[in-house]
């Protein structure tokens, strides 16, 4: 038994249905809430008022964004350039980097070394390089990365060892924040009072920036 022939009229009708479905999907994505309002949440307030986290973006930015990421997380790496572009375009967003290594021992090692780089004043450039470089982010990758941005690898190792307690405390605090905020995975973004779970593109970051600035 042969399948019924698809006529030109039927094909056009089918294409219209499919195209309409894509259009509806695009509209729903463009209008659906991207973030959850966590206004008044004490954990969120403390996470944004954190002088101990490495920072970047606009040093005096009126809007603060806490970024929860893992260097081995594919979605984190995919969203990173969009986040940087949106922050740069906005010009008034301060970024707090919250290393949240959930992909095992390699991620934990990378997070510890990244945090140790702040003692050379190189956290943000190293973070950017690790997010856009080799996905393995093993010790050799990090050694090459810190040298490529003008850092001192031997000092990085020394700082990691000397500051081990402070680094562990930082990672523990971030893990507690993530648990308290209901962050199940990476990436996650706490943008003012708005909490986003999952990757965003540049336009979506700009949209959440606008929502975060709206009067309560």
For the chain, what is the mean pLDDT?
89
CA distances from 208 to 29, 62, 189 (A): 13, 14, 10
In a domain, 28, yes or no: no
Distance CA 37, CA 142 (A): 36
Question: What is the average per-residue pLDDT within 7-30?
Answer: 44
Name the pLDDT band for 134 (thresholds 50, 70, 90): confident
For the chain, give percent helix, strand, coil, nearest 5. Answer: 55, 10, 30
CB of 141 closer than 8 Å to CB of 130: yes
CATH of residue 202? 3.40.30.10
Q: Do the domain assignments include residue 189?
A: yes
The phi and psi torsions of 41 (rounded to 5 degrees) equal: -75, 120
Question: What percentage of residues in the chain have a pLDDT greater than 70?
Answer: 85
Supply the pLDDT for residue 48: 97
In a domain, 53, yes or no: yes
Helices H / strands E in the chain, number of each: 9, 6
Tell me how crowded residue 43 is: count the other CB atoms within 10 A of its CB. 16
- Does pLDDT of 97 surpass 50? yes
Kindly state the helix (H) or strand (E) to which residue 190 belongs, with its residue range: strand 188-191
Both tokens of 167, joined, read 């680094």
Range 109-128 average pLDDT = 98
**Residue 94: pLDDT over 60:** yes
pLDDT in tens, 170-211: 999 999 999 999 998 999 999 999 999 999 999 999 999 999
Return the percentage of the chain with pLDDT > 90, whole number: 81
Predicted confidence at residue 157, as pLDDT, reads: 98
152-157-159-161 Cα dihedral, nearest 10 degrees: -170
93 in Cβ contact with 38 (< 8 Å): no
Calpha distance 151→158 (Å, rounded)? 13
Domain annotation covers residue 18: no
Residue 22 lies in a domain: no
Residue 18's CB is within 10 A of a number of other CB atoms, namely 10
Residue 92's domain spans which residues?
34-213
Look at residue 147 in the predicted model and tell me its pLDDT: 97
So what's the pLDDT on residue 7?
A: 58
Structural domain contains residue 15: no
Q: Which comes out higher in pLDDT, residue 124 or 21?
A: 124
13: pLDDT strictly greater than 70: no
The predicted-structure confidence for 22-64, as pLDDT tens digits, reads as follows 343 333 345 567 889 999 999 999 999 999 999 999 999 999 9
Taking the C-alpha atoms of residue 204 and residue 210, their distance in angstroms, rounded to an integer, is 10
Residue with token string 């809430």: 33
With respect to residue 207, please indicate whether it lies within any of the assigned structural domains: yes
CA 198 distance to own-chain centroid: 8
Length of the chain: 216
Domain count, the chain: 1
Residue 8 lies in a domain: no
């Amino acid at each position: 038994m042969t399948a019924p022939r698809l006529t030109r009229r039927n094909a056009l009708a089918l294409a219209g249905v499919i195209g309409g479905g894509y259009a509806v999907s695009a509209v729903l994505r463009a209008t659906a809430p991207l973030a959850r309002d966590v206004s008044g949440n004490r954990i969120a307030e403390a996470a944004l008022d954190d002088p101990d986290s490495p920072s970047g973006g606009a040093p005096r930015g009126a809007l603060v964004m806490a970024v929860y990421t893992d260097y081995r997380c594919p979605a984190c790496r995919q969203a990173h350039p969009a986040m940087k572009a949106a922050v740069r375009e906005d010009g008034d967003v301060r970024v707090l980097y919250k290393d949240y290594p959930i992909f095992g021992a390699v991620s934990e090692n990378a997070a510890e070394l990244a945090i140790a780089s702040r003692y050379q004043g190189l956290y943000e450039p190293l973070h950017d390089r690790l997010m856009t470089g080799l996905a393995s982010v093993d010790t050799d990758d990090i050694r090459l990365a810190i040298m490529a941005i003008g850092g001192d690898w031997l000092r990085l190792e020394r700082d990691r060892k000397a500051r081990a307690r402070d680094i562990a405390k930082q990672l523990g605090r971030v893990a507690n924040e993530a648990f308290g905020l209901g962050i199940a995975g990476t990436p996650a973004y706490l943008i003012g009072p708005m909490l986003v779970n999952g990757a965003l593109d540049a336009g979506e970051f700009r949209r959440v920036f606008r929502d975060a600035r709206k009067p309560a």
